[in-house]
Amino acid sequence: MPKKIGSLILYSIDDLHEKLGVSKLTLRSYLRTGRIRGRKLGVSWYVTQESLQDYFNAPERRRKDVEKLNKSNAHNYRYIIQGINDLVSETEECETRSDVIELLQRQAILSLFQVKIIERNSRKVIQVLKARDFIEQHGAKKDS
């Protein structure tokens, strides 16, 4: 049962597991990686209603981010492909999305990689995507 503190409603891992039918292990992973925003109080994670709404609205936000990225001059970006755990320590830099796609398609285990999209001038990280998500969002597009 969610905890209510004033107008704030906090959902625990157990609450989310019961209501959403998602494993507790998956929920903890989402919280650790920031896919769902939450706070750890003591040994327990808690998520607000607003964080849940953000999570479920994320595909719309990602789509808008991709559209914004595609509208801008893609040559203003560079792409860093890197392993996300101890099994894969390699890092590659690519100039174009098609180079990224080509490199990712040669990988045996796609889930071990992520792609950072970095603005060339400011060196600001614009977006970090799992390799599979990058291919899904940018794979069908012409080179930029």
Contact 138, 131 (CB under 8 A): no
The yes-or-no verdict on residue 141 having pLDDT over 60 is no
Supply the pLDDT for residue 72: 54
Q: What is the pLDDT of residues 38-64, one digit of tens each?
A: 888 888 889 998 888 888 886 666 666
Nearest to residue 113, comparing CAs of 134, 82, 137? 82
Structure tokens at 104: 């990712």
Chain mean pLDDT for the chain: 82
User: CB count, 10 Å around CB of 97?
Assistant: 24
Q: What is the pLDDT of residues 85-114, one digit of tens each?
A: 766 667 888 888 888 988 888 888 888 889
Say what the alpha-carbon torsion angle 90, 95, 98, 100 is, to the nearest 10 degrees. Answer: 10
Supply the pLDDT for residue 18: 93
Residues 27, 49, 2: CA angle, nearest 5 degrees = 75
Is the overall model pTM greater than 0.75, yes or no? no
Domain spans, the chain:
3-49, 73-138
Supply the pLDDT for residue 73: 47
Structure tokens at 59: 């595909």
